[in-house]
């Protein structure tokens, strides 16, 4: 995370060796407790980055790190005469997490409900049956990833499109590798111009820094970010047709209405925030009740519907009534708990004073444009959640153009490496052996060209 790493450097830079404490609590940047908090977080994040090799869920190290960090800080603050300071700071950080967690939980529930109703299976089967060429599928899966990820999360989108690529690609390793890279870039780019497309954009929107429709100014830069490497990869994709399949999937009862309810839920969240000045999470939780009542309707009418359908109900696999709490239970709890750990850890480092030091180095000495471009490059190595939370915690004085820039770079910077985003990590597991770190790295120069081209387009049209 750039803020933390620069915070370490700031300890040795006399130009930023200023007090970071406040009237509520003293500066702890040079205190052993502050250094211990920094080292604990860095150690936890090393374990997070080694998840693929250790098979240790990423939430575990950061959750325990958060507890240990705040225990240390609370003890030291009490010893220094500010016993309530740590409590107030951690409550504020926890409130930020709770809003985002509940918002994401509702979104994940709707996505899981659509998956249970076989919406995504039907889309995948249609693409396989259509008989497109490899190049056509390369562009279709990329296009769908770009336009689905603003509504669904980039990981779900990447796994859905990855399933299509693996189903039709067969042994054609070149097609699978290039298509997976294209999907990762497209999913990350698509998520950058929508408040719902990525956790980073969601955090910026919920903070009230950019309004809902303000993110759509990033549509063209995000499109350029995807198209530049896609065009360069196009010529390396095999130009012949794969063997088609006759698989047909029928969506379960209520699938289309659940899609409609999800769109109505998004509209509710936007309306609550824009017109009533309430947190968007209140609108999302209200929208969850739409799904709950619709699930009640499906359950109460299931027996009568099943009797009318007869054998057809068996054919589509719709033999059990819909239960809204099953999609809730299948939410990505590891991701939500990882988010908790990251938010609390970064908040602890902000309490120590490291984020103030990092903010001065990055946004006063480097300048906002260079700092925000650097944020994107670092997010290729470190998850963009702590990166963006650190920037929001630093709260540098920037205009909307620069806030849009850091939103763009944090979202699409993860495409530079396969490990830089959840979409890339997820596809490496799904297409094991075909889509690899080094296979992605081969095309990093093309992706970097799209990265800097998107920044130039943004500064040109939005600057």
DSSP states of 370-390: HHHHHHHHHTTTS-HHHHHHH
Instruction: State the chain's maximal CA–CA distance in angstroms.
Output: 78
The pLDDT value recorded for residue 15 is 28
Q: Is residue 93 a contact partner of residue 344, using CB atoms and an 8 Å limit?
A: yes
Between CA 419 and CA 425 the distance in angstroms is: 5
The whole-angstrom separation of Cα 444 and Cα 160 is 23
Distance in angstroms (rounded) separating the CA atoms of residues 129 and 294: 32
pLDDT of res. 448: 95
Cα–Cα distance, 374 to 335 (Å, whole number): 25
| Averages of pLDDT over each 10 residues, the chain, 463 residues | 38 32 64 90 84 79 93 89 84 84 85 84 78 86 90 76 78 87 93 82 84 90 95 89 70 90 89 85 93 91 76 58 84 81 86 79 84 86 75 83 91 84 75 81 93 94 85
Q: What is the structure's pLDDT at 4?
A: 39
Q: Residue 237 in 3-state DSSP? A: coil
Q: pLDDT at position 40, please?
A: 94
User: How many C-beta neighbours within 10 Å does residue 43 have?
Assistant: 11
Predicted local confidence at residue 161, as pLDDT: 82
Angle CA 427–404–208, to nearest 5: 105
**From CA 53, how far away is CA 59, in angstroms rounded?**
15
What are the angstrom distances between the C-alpha of 365 and each of 2, 318, 322, 370? 15, 61, 56, 10
> 99 CB contacts (<8 Å, ≥6 apart)?
206, 279, 281
The predicted structure's pLDDT at residue 257: 94
Residues sharing a CB contact under 8 Å with residue 282, sequence separation 6 or more, in sequence order: 269, 272
CA–CA gap between residue 339 and residue 345 (Å, rounded): 10
Helix or strand or coil: residue 235?
coil
163 within 8 A of 429, measured Cβ to Cβ: no
pLDDT given at position 12? 29
Contacts of 198 (CB under 8 A, 6+ apart): 153, 154, 188, 191, 192, 384, 411
Task: Please name the helix (run of DSSP H) or strand (run of DSSP E) that holds residue 403, with its range, or none.
Answer: helix 400-412
| Nearest residue to 281 (alpha-carbon basis) of 292, 272, 293, 294 | 272
Task: Show the beta-strand stretches assigned E in 41-100.
Answer: none
Give the ranges where 207-278 is alpha helix by DSSP (H): 219-234, 255-275
pLDDT at 25: 61
How confident is the model at residue 318, as a pLDDT? 59
Rounded to two decimals, what is the model's pTM?
Answer: 0.75
Among candidates 200, 159, 103, 271, which has minimal Cα distance to 413? 200
In sequence order, the 6+-apart residues with CB closer than 8 A to the CB of 216 are 193, 194
**The predicted structure's pLDDT at residue 234:** 92
For 23, residues 6+ apart whose C-beta sits below 8 A from its C-beta are none
């Amino acid at each position: 995370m750039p803020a933390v790493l620069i915070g370490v450097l700031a300890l040795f830079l006399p130009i930023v060796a200023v007090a970071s404490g406040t009237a509520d609590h003293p500066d702890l940047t040079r205190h052993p407790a502050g250094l211990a908090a920094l080292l604990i977080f860095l150690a936890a994040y090393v374990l997070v980055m080694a998840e693929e090799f250790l098979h240790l869920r990423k939430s575990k190290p950061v959750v325990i790190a958060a507890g240990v960090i705040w225990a240390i800080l609370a003890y030291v603050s009490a010893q220094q005469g500010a016993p309530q300071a740590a409590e107030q700071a951690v409550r504020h950080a926890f409130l930020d997490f709770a809003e985002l967690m509940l918002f994401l939980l509702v979104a994940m529930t709707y996505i899981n409900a659509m998956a249970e109703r076989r919406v995504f299976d039907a889309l995948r089967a249609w693409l396989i049956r259509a008989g497109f060429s490899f190049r056509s599928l390369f562009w279709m899966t990329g296009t769908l990833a770009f336009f689905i990820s603003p509504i669904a999360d980039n990981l779900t989108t990447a796994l859905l499109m990855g399933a299509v690529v693996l189903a039709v690609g067969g042994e054609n390793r070149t097609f699978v590798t290039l298509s997976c890279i294209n999907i990762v870039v497209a999913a990350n780019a698509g998520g950058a111009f929508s408040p719902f497309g990525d956790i980073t954009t969601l955090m910026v929107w919920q903070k009230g820094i950019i309004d809902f429709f303000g993110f759509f100014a990033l549509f063209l830069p995000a499109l350029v970010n995807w198209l530049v490497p896609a065009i360069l990869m196009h010529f390396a994709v095999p130009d012949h047709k794969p063997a088609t399949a006759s698989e047909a999937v029928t969506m379960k009862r209520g699938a289309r209405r659940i899609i409609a309810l999800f769109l109505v839920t998004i509209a509710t969240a936007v309306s609550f925030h824009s017109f009533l000045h309430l947190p968007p999470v209140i609108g999302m939780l209200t929208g969850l009740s739409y799904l709950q009542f619709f699930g009640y309707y499906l359950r109460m009418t299931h027996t009568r519907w099943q009797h009318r359908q007869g054998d057809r109900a068996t054919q589509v696999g719709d033999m059990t009534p819909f239960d809204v709490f099953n999609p809730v239970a299948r939410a990505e709890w590891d991701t939500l708990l990882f988010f908790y750990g990251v938010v609390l850890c970064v908040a602890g480092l902000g309490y120590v004073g490291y984020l103030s030091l990092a903010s001065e180095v990055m946004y006063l000495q480097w300048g906002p444009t260079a700092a925000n471009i650097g944020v994107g490059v670092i997010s290729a190595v470190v998850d963009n959640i702590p990166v963006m939370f650190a920037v929001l915690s630093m709260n540098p004085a920037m205009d909307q153009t620069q806030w849009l820039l850091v939103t763009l770079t944090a979202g699409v910077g993860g495409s530079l490496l396969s490990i830089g985003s959840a979409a890339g990590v997820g596809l490496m597991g799904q297409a094991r052996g075909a889509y690899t770190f080094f296979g992605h790295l081969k095309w990093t120069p093309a992706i970097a060209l799209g990265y800097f081209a998107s920044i130039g387009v943004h500064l040109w049209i939005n600057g």
